[in-house]
């Protein structure tokens, strides 16, 4: 099984080189698609420093730059480029640890499940911002009610999907509401999502966190809107 990882990047000059360094040493990762979503800081410079290094795993990396359009647009762009059987998303900050990736793959390779989520809330994690955690919990609760499921973390970045299925979802969102769109469309297709614990070290806005309450409103609209659509 070949695994492709899409890394959407926007203004992550402080972390992008380290996350790429961690990612390419994971043996299970066969391909990394880095999509620079119109960064305005030194992100591109840091990516090029990494690409010009002597890292023996650079053959895994493909780099693309596009105009800023949001996380959803970067992922949709990357999805056109991946060649793996499975696709995973990796944020360019250090909140998610690539060393957890094999734990997600283990259950797919066993043949028991097709879609695996890494849950931040059933594994070790640092304290989160209160309002961010509350908003996440409310949105997650709404998904569980409307789609008759028991997910603990539908907003997680670590979503491992068959690439064919990922493309068939025909993601329309351009921003962070792409996360509930993926989840809700999978649930409407009758896909049973398998969750595994991952480690999570959340950051605050001073450290570069970008998601805000406005993204929560967009997510709310997405969750309700998709539920109201006919199957």
DSSP per residue over 95-128, as a string? SB-GGGHHHHHHHHHTTS-SEEEEESSSS-BPPP
Distance CA 194, CA 104 (A): 9
Q: How far is CA 117 from the centre of its chain?
A: 10
In order of start, what are the domains of the chain with their CATH numbers? 3-228 (3.90.550.10)
Distance CA 19, CA 147 (A): 34
Q: Give me the residues of the chain with pLDDT under 50, please.
A: 205, 207-208
Name the burial class of residue 116, with classes exposed (0-12), middle (13-18) and buried (19+) by CB atoms within 10 angstroms of its CB.
buried
Name the pairing type of β-strands 159-162 and 115-119.
antiparallel
Q: What is the pTM of this model?
A: 0.88
Residue 125, pLDDT score: 59
Locate 9 and state its tokens. Answer: 């990047």
Q: What is the CA radius of gyration of the chain?
A: 17
Closest residue by Cα to residue 176 from 193, 158, 148, 155: 155
Residue 6, pLDDT score: 98
How far from 2 is each of 27, 28, 61, 84, 90, CA to CA, in Å?
11, 8, 14, 5, 16
Residue 112, pLDDT score: 85
Residue 205, pLDDT score: 45
């Amino acid at each position: 099984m070949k695994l492709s990882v899409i890394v959407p990047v926007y203004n992550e000059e402080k972390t992008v080189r380290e996350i790429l360094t961690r990612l390419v040493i994971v043996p299970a990762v066969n391909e990394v698609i880095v999509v620079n979503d119109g960064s305005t800081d030194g992100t591109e410079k840091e990516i090029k420093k990494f690409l010009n290094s002597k890292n023996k795993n650079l053959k895994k990396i493909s780099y693309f730059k596009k105009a800023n359009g949001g996380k959803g647009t970067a992922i949709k762009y990357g999805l056109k480029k991946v060649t793996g059987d499975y696709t995973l998303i990796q944020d360019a900050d250090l909140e998610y640890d690539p060393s957890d990736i094999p734990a997600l793959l283990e259950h797919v390779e066993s043949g028991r499940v097709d879609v695996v989520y890494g849950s931040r809330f059933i594994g070790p994690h640092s304290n989160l911002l209160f309002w961010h955690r509350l908003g996440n919990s409310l949105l997650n609760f709404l998904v569980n009610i409307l789609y008759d499921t028991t997910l603990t973390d539908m907003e997680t970045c670590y979503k491992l999907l068959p690439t064919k299925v990922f493309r068939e979802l025909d993601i329309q969102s351009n921003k962070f509401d792409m996360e509930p769109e993926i989840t809700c469309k999978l649930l409407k297709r009758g896909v049973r999502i398998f969750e595994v614990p991952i480690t999570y070290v959340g950051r605050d806005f001073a450290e570069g966190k970008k998601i805000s309450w406005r993204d929560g409103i967009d997510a709310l609209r997405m969750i309700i809107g998709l539920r109201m659509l006919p199957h």
